[in-house]
A = this chain, B = another copy of it.
């Protein structure tokens, strides 16, 4: 993974717009070609344990960047990047509950906080679209539907909770091609984790996502599920963590890293 500083002004523009609160909406489709990331910020005393949790749950929690304690910059992910301001909307959590959804977290920042940036499926969606497979939520201009499953993550210390998945309805032939394409992107969730039988992973109503927006399912399509970077938010809830900051689902960190650089 490598930042392409001289070609990445589009991503920087998005971050600056978020910083100035000129952008407070989901980032899908912005700065095409550049990696977007999920955020979770934790106190340093919990960070090492969370890093082990991610190592044991690489499908939902592939770490693509991590800050030093108290330092809001992640230079490997972007020029002049400030994690406290550069995401359009955040969630602040106390005891596993959302207490605020601000457009910056400067007033919440502390010297002991560590930011984790986790890969996002937006990166592989670009490769799907290039192959003619248009995810339904993109065609509809909505947020991808996401579901809490009955599949537990691999618990590590205080961190535990259900796997969250994103869902795209696909014709079987497209689902097969999507497995091939997304397998080439292991650091942004890789291949699907499930196809076709939502009840087997505890999803009883495909029209009622836990995060994001519902999408229509057509005859001849299979719901196709990928591990999702919103999983840490279900972990914050399940583990009732004292304090955490995350992004607001859909409002991602836009980085200077190229999607294509993540492909094997």
Footprint of B on A, CB under 8 Å? 172-173, 175-176, 179-180, 183, 191-197, 200, 220, 222
B residues less than 8 Å from A193 (CB atoms): 173, 176
Q: How far apart are A171's CB and chain B's nearest CB, in angstroms?
A: 8
Q: How far apart are A227's CB and chain B's nearest CB, in angstroms?
A: 12
Interface pair A172/B191, CB less than 8 Å apart: no
A200 vs B197: C-alpha distance when bound (angstroms):
17
Copies of this chain held together in the complex? 2
Of all chain B residues, which has the CB nearest A170?
A: B195
A191 vs B176: C-alpha distance when bound (angstroms):
7
A176 vs B191: C-alpha distance when bound (angstroms):
7
A197 vs B191: C-alpha distance when bound (angstroms):
20
Interface pair A196/B196, CB less than 8 Å apart: yes
Extra pairs beyond A172-B197, A179-B191 (17, CB < 8 Å) = A173-B194, A175-B196, A176-B179, A176-B192, A176-B193, A176-B194, A179-B179, A180-B180, A180-B183, A180-B191, A183-B183, A195-B195, A195-B222, A196-B196, A197-B220, A197-B222, A200-B220
